[in-house]
Chains A and B, each alone.
Chain A
Amino acid sequence: MTVGVTGFRALFLGLCALLLGGARDMVLVPEISQHEIEVRQGFTGADLLLYGAILSPEGARAAKDTDIVVVLEGPVRSIVLREKQKVAGVWVNADSTQFRSAPAFFAVASTRPIADIVDDKTAAIYELGLKWLQLSPIGVIDPAEQARFSAGLVDLMRRQGLYQENEGAVKTSGDVLYQARISLPSSVQTGTYTAETFAIRKGKVVASAITQVDVRKEGFERFVAVNAETNGLIYGLFAVLLSVGMGWLAGRLFALV
């Protein structure tokens, strides 16, 4: 479904370009402080600086009234979302729903509140904000229930720092440069993250650009994760040997004391 939306976006932008005429296009040059994040021992999260320049076609400064919105989206996965309810005095998982495309990470930063920059329709098309996340629920469920589950997911992920919405976090300087800081907690999923930057003027997206960030396990962490997944037998034997060995060693050492 991401492919669909991106395709749609590309088409849409193409149309915009045609309608506006190439000469009036804004030039957006985005950059990220790190294109690769290595998850290895001691990883406690990462701070990404997304920055760049926005120029009018003549190479002059962009006008003052251009807003910047940055969206950093993690790998999309299918999930089951379970909801606890009180049944006979005990809180149990009573209801559940499935989403085909819940991003593992989603952060939006903007120069001003999204509602002041674009109308709801545009915000929904470009997924500008947690409210407009397209989670694609599986199966038929009624809209009220779907809204409740989506809100629950967003709230949960938000408190874990995996979904963020920072209005006013994009700072501009000299009407040319912009920068935004987005922090990833240590519990981020590995995979390819896409950072999409939008330049918005008078409620219309006038330019956008995509860059990618690779988050991956490296070194020992990668070795452990790969082996746990593919070499269960040897991994398990090693864990058993380690525990027996450490227990035995401790017994021996303390006998000396």
Chain B
Amino acid sequence: MDVYLPIANLAVNGLVIVGLGALTGILSGMFGVGGGFLTTPLLIFYGVPPTVAAASAASQVTGASVSGAFAHARRGGIDYQMGGVLVAGGVLGTGIGALLFRLLQSLGQIDTVINILYVLLLGGIGGLMAHESVTAIRAQRSGIPLPARKRRHHPLVASLPLRWRFYRSGLYISPLAPLLLGMATGVLTMLMGIGGGFILVPAMLYILGMGASVVVGTSLFQILFVTMATTMMHALTTRAVDIVLASLLLLGSVSGAQVGAQFAQKAKPEQLRLILAVIVLGVAVRMALGLGYRPDEIYTVVPL
């Protein structure tokens, strides 16, 4: 089924794109991450121009996180106060990201920066997740429970001025910490087309020290609004959102997300995390090799 993408200016096989959306949707439903970290590189690999890929992948993450966010909202799993601060930071971050995007584009270094960011972030987070899930699985097999982790925020967070009470998260910390965290994910969302969930969730747990019951819901809430802001930002600045591409991706990802959520209820969380870690590390290694190998195309054309 050939579909012509009016903004990317090329014809693609629509079923491949829907399948790609479904794959990332399943991941997002299973692991609660947006799956954007897979969509953008795969789209680029398929021949979609990098800017169009990053701009259109964000809307797919929006779609995939909507139903999850609703589900958590019904269970009371969202700290709206914390979410609001994170979103505010995230929107600021997308603005900064848009400026960075334009700067790097004019320098011709956007691709390299995106690739290096992917390698560092995915490698780091994937390594951490793999380590954590392996120790958890070992502890279960040996029957010796792991020492309970003390829920405390990072010392750096405590040193920030101005404190607010976040009741649902059970925190009394400076709102600057989540604001900065939100900003960081906003910048990444704009640059890489990812939702930032796989950075946000560990950061909320281990840096902010939020209660586990509201972490996933609040992160979905933030991702939902930040990816919306990203889509708007791209529509207004790079003008690279391809609505046809986004629709195809959405079609796959929203249904994939539902299927993934069904899977997630049956599987063990430690094993899920290990699988996710392996996928994330795989992408990171592939990207790292890509930096070092001679690329297929030495030359790239950019309109002046």
Q: Chain A residues in contact with chain B, CB under 8 A?
A: 39-45, 77-84, 86, 89-93, 96, 98, 102, 149, 152-153, 155-157, 186-187, 189, 217, 220-222, 224-225, 228-229, 232-233, 235-240, 242-244, 246-251, 254
Contact = CB atoms under 8 A, between A and B. Distances in A.
Contacts of B38: none
Contact of A221 (B6, B63, B65): B6
A93 B4 contact: no
Nearest to A237: B232
A91 B236 contact: no
Contacts of A152: 298-299
Contacts of B254: 246-247, 249-251
Nearest to A40: B4
Contacts of B299: 81-84, 149, 152-153, 155-156
Q: Which residue, of B3, B6, B293, has the highest number of chain A Cβ atoms within 10 A?
A: B6
A239 B2 contact: no
Contacts of B51: none
Given A233-B235, A235-B235, 9 more contacts: A39-B4, A86-B294, A91-B292, A156-B297, A156-B300, A224-B7, A225-B6, A239-B241, A251-B67
Contacts of B300: 81-82, 84, 93, 156
A243 B4 contact: no
27 contacts: A44-B2, A78-B304, A81-B299, A89-B292, A90-B116, A91-B293, A91-B294, A92-B109, A96-B108, A155-B299, A156-B299, A157-B301, A222-B6, A228-B6, A228-B235, A236-B235, A239-B241, A239-B246, A242-B243, A243-B227, A244-B62, A244-B63, A246-B63, A247-B254, A250-B63, A251-B66, A251-B67
Q: Which label, helix, strand, loop or mixed, suits the secondary structure of the B interface?
A: helix
Contact of A79 (B9, B59, B301): B301
B301 A243 contact: no
A15 to B, nearest CB: 35
A79 B2 CA distance: 29
Contact of A254 (B4, B239, B258): B258
Contact of B304 (A41, A45, A98, A217): A98
Contact of A93 (B112, B116, B239): B112
Contact of A228 (B228, B239, B291): B239
Interface in B23-69: 59-60, 62-67
Given A90-B291, A232-B236, A247-B250, A224 B243 contact: yes
Interface string B63-94: 11111001100000000000000000000000
**Chain B contact patch, size range:** 35 or more
A243 B254 CA distance: 9
Contacts of B3: 41-42
Contacts of A43: 4, 11
Given A90-B292, A221-B6, A250-B257, A79 B304 contact: yes
B2 A42 contact: yes
A177 B100 CA distance: 58
Q: Which residue, of A45, A81, A254, has the highest number of chain B Cβ atoms within 10 A?
A: A254
Contacts of A40: 4
A131 to B, nearest CB: 17
Nearest to B239: A228
Contacts of B111: 93
Given A224-B243, A232-B239, A236-B231, A77 B250 contact: no
Interface string B277-304: 0000000000000011111011111111
A194 B77 CA distance: 62
Contacts of A222: 6
Nearest to A43: B4
A244 to B, nearest CB: 5
A39 B6 CA distance: 9
Contacts of B62: 240, 243-244, 247
